[in-house]
Amino acid sequence: MTRFFVLLAFLMAFGAWRPANAQTMGDAAARASVLATDDSRIRARAEGDVTALSRIYADDYSLITAEGEVRSKAVQLNELKSGELHFAPLRPLEREVRLYGPTALVISRDPAGIVRNGQQIGGDLRMTRLYVWRQGRWQLVSAQATRVVPSTPVAKTTNVR
């Protein structure tokens, strides 16, 4: 009987951490909602829609680029607005959503066409994006890009004595 109450308390506590849409729609619907927000982000970047991105990006949003540079929401949006930064439309090659209460982790592989100041900085990227349920919607708080480097075959070695 004690185990039942411990389990019930755990389930009630875990449920309290779920965003409202995940509580009422279930995990599959919550994942779909995260993906819809992520798709809106992809579209807004390609269209240079700063208004949509300012709603999707949380005020404390930060991006760590494939080069290791940390960029804020303001920097990203200002460069888009000025035309210094352009994103080509993309379709992720892989994308997975993991839910942790009011937090969603999106892991993807993106063939990203990104041009900053006339220089191609995109490429084949592994991305992690962290969304948090705030103010009744998913907001992107953090993203990190890692460049995928084609692997080179390992040279066969011979036994040397």
Question: Does residue 157 lie within any of the structural domains?
Answer: no
Question: Does residue 14 lie within any of the structural domains?
Answer: no
Domain that holds residue 56: 19-147
Q: What is the pLDDT of residue 21?
A: 46
Question: Does residue 26 lie within any of the structural domains?
Answer: yes
pLDDT tens track for 77-122: 999 999 999 999 999 999 999 999 999 999 999 998 898 988 888 8
Question: Does residue 4 lie within any of the structural domains?
Answer: no
pLDDT tens track for 144-161: 999 998 877 665 555 555
Q: Report the CATH number at residue 124.
A: 3.10.450.50
By residue count, the chain amounts to 161
Secondary structure (DSSP) of 95-109: EEEEEETTEEEEEEE
Residue 6 has pLDDT above 80, yes or no: no
Q: What is the pTM of this model?
A: 0.78
Question: Does residue 158 lie within any of the structural domains?
Answer: no
**Residues contacting residue 89 through CB under 8 Å, at least 6 positions apart:** 42, 43, 46, 113
Q: Determine contact, residues 91/39, Cβ cutoff 8 Å.
A: no
Round the average pLDDT of the chain to a whole number and report it: 85
Question: Does residue 1 lie within any of the structural domains?
Answer: no
Burial group, residue 9, by CB count within 10 angstroms (0-12, 13-18, 19+)? exposed
User: Who wins on pLDDT, 22 or 88?
Assistant: 88
pLDDT tens track for 24-40: 458 999 999 999 999 99
pLDDT tens track for 58-77: 999 999 999 999 999 999 99
Question: Does residue 143 lie within any of the structural domains?
Answer: yes
Domain count, the chain: 1
Residue 13 has pLDDT above 70, yes or no: no
Question: Does residue 122 lie within any of the structural domains?
Answer: yes
Distance CA 130, CA 132 (A): 7
